[in-house]
Every structure is written in C-alpha cells, then in structure tokens.
Structure 1
Amino acid sequence: MSHYFFAGKIPSETKLAMKNNIIELKKQFPFRRWVHHEDLHITLAFLGAAPEDKLERACSLVGGTLVKADSFSLAINGLGIFGRKDSPRVFWASLSKSEELTNLRASVFTACEEAGFQLETRPFSPHVTLARNWEGEFPFNPGKLDEQPLNLGFMLEEVVLYRTNIESTPKYEPVQRFRLTALNQQ
C-alpha cells in the first residue's frame, strides 16, 4: 500500500550537488540504505496510507493555505543523526535555521489535521534524510560529522504531495505540486 507525505521540494541542481556529496559520504559512513538523490526532500507532514477523499481535502486545504506563501532561501549546512550515537537509525543533512520553513510546516501540518489526518506529534526537526541503518564494522563516530563541510544554498519554491512506491527507484512520485510565490513577483 502506498504512503503519502507533503514535503518541501529540493531543486534538481541541489539534488545533483548532494549526489556528489553522498558518493563521498558513503565511503566514510557505512549505512545499509542510502536515499536516491532524486528522493531528497524536506518532510512537512507524513500522512501514511490515505483514502482518496481525505487526500483531496488535504490538497485543497494545503493549496488554500499556500496561495500567498512566498518562496524563501535555505541552506544545507551540516550532518546529524537520529537514534543511538554508536549505531544511528537515520543519517541526515541539517538545514539552516528558518522561520519561513517553520511557518510553512505549521501551515501544511494544520491543513492536514483539518483534513482529518492524525500526524506525528514530535517537534519539527527540519532535515534531509540521506541514509538509514548503520551497519559499520565499528561503532559510529559522531565526531566525524564535523569533518564534512556542507554548504549548499537553494530556494524552496515548491511543496509537493508525494506517493511512496517502494519497488521503484527513485521511490517518491509527485502527485500534486504547490508553487510558492517567487519573491521578485510581488
């Protein structure tokens, strides 16, 4: 069964730059599953399996809330982990602190709740997942994260409803797109 989620779309040129970074990171960080560069995104609201009518309602509400939302700049600027320090579950790239991203996430999240979805209640921790499940011969060394300089700026110009296709690569298929207003068009 497919799962759905709303996410900030990372531009293609940034994904390609991250692909080169991922090639280098794989040499130093042995994780079991690496995210295909085309699947890189910023999750705003994970919906899970969803009936068509709830998805349509969520898209309508998200579209309504984003109609006046502006695009904004972000930067991928570091690395981090979720899970145990010696054997992390998730390896991710951090994002620059952004009030615009926090507000965008709140708008999308609230619209999805209004559509009837019960969403994750953990605090929003903006990141881009790179890999999952440490399988190194030795324990993970968190100190190595600081040795990897990352600084990729980009404009967040689109929110996308994605469908997960587990058997495909890349596995996230855009279902509906919501363009944010370009700052120079106001």
Structure 2
Amino acid sequence: MNSHYFVGIQVPRELAGHLSSWQHTLQKHMRYKVWTNAEDFHVTLKFLGAASDEKINRLMSMLQQQNLPDAFSTTVGPAGGFGHPEAPRVFLAEVEKPPGLVKLYKRVEEAAAASGWEREKRDFHPHITLAKKQAEGRSPLSLSHVPAVFQQQFSIMVERITLYRIHPGENPKYKDVFTIDL
C-alpha cells in the first residue's frame, strides 16, 4: 500500500501557539470531530494522495528544477470557515495570497502535473485548518460580537516548502520527507 502525501508550508512555532489559543476559544462554542494538532498546522499547496516512491522521487526532482519564488511574507488571519456560516464544516485561519504565494502554488502545480498528478480544478484558497467535521454548536464568527482572538492577524515569512507523508494513526500525523528552501 502506498503512503499518502502533500506539499505544504509549515507554520512557525510561535504562530502555532496563537492558533492553538484560537482552538481553545473555539472549543467553548463548537464541537468538532477532528482538531488539528499544533505540530500539524500547515498551508496546503498540493494534496497528492497515495503515491509510489518512484512518483514521489520524480516530484522532488521536478520541484528542485522549478523557478520557485524567493522567500516572502504573508498574513495569517482572521478566522474563517468552509460551509454554513453558523456551523462551518471546517474552521480555519485565512492566509493572504501575495504574488509570491500565488507563484509558489503555480510552480508546485506545474511540478506535480509534470510528475503525473492531475491539476487542481478548484481555486486556490490558502488556509490553515484548525478543526473539521463539525458536530455541534454555533460558530463564534456568526455572533454579533466576534471574539477578538478570531480577528487577529499575524505576519509570517515563507522560506521553504515541505513534502509531507501522512501517518493517519499518529499524532502529530504529518512527517516531513523533503524540504526545499526558497
């Protein structure tokens, strides 16, 4: 059986601490079936799914040949969600799309396509998943006074991308396999 993989941007430890506090506040309002471990916070550039070692090696080679952007900064926050505003199925931190991030996404897509993966059909919506599979409760984002913690914004430097292997039974469950500095 092949392992599952994705290419992403790791969240700096300091930001992970802030996002963990968002989760703590969110737990007072909503119950989710899956809460992202702080060590697993990331921005997905390309979900790959199951892949052989050969296909992964081809992708890593293609990524190294890409004209990736130089390191850049982006903004994380405020909070958001996918799904119904009062009960989003995914609760997340929004991520700004500066030109460097858009270029990085396109280069990863190009390398993946050249390595045998299909191109993503959905628009790129960079985010950091905090919780998913909503079970009950009302989103604090739908309240008349949204808690200030969910309106915070943080600047981060994006200096590398990482290929992750997914280990579903472990916590944290994402292990870095390969990193490319920008």
| TM-score, structure 2 as length reference | 0.89
Secondary structure in 1 matching 2:46: strand
Give yes or no for contact 1:164–1:173 (8 Å, CA) kept in 2.
yes
Q: Which runs of 5+ in 2 are unaligned?
A: none
Partner of 2:116: 116
Give yes or no for contact 1:81–1:89 (8 Å, CA) kept in 2.
yes
Partner of 2:26: 25
Q: Does residue 127 of the first structure (1) align with residue 135 of the second (2)?
A: no
Give yes or no for contact 1:134–1:140 (8 Å, CA) kept in 2.
no
2:179 to 172, 177, 180: 177
Partner of 2:103: 103
Secondary structure in 1 matching 2:136: coil
Q: Which has the higher strand share?
A: 2
Secondary structure in 1 matching 2:28: helix
Give yes or no for contact 2:29–2:140 (8 Å, CA) kept in 1.
no
Q: Distance in 2 between matches of 1:73 and 1:149?
A: 19
Query: Can you list the C-alpha shifts for 1:87-116, whole angstroms capped at 9, x where unaligned?
Result: 322111101231111110000111101001
Q: Which runs of 5+ in 1 are unaligned?
A: 181-186
Which stretch of the first structure deviates more once superposed, 145-154 or 73-82?
A: 145-154
Q: CA RMSD in A?
A: 1.9
Query: Can you list the C-alpha shifts for 1:107-154, whole angstroms capped at 9, x where unaligned?
Result: 0111101001124311101111110011124x5464239442221211
How many residues are aligned here?
178
Partner of 2:155: 153
Partner of 1:48: 49
State the identity as a percent: 33
Give yes or no for contact 2:86–2:142 (8 Å, CA) kept in 1.
no
The runs of at least 4 consecutive aligned structure 1 residues that moved more than 4 Å come to 139-142
| TM-score, structure 1 as length reference | 0.87
Secondary structure in 2 matching 1:136: strand
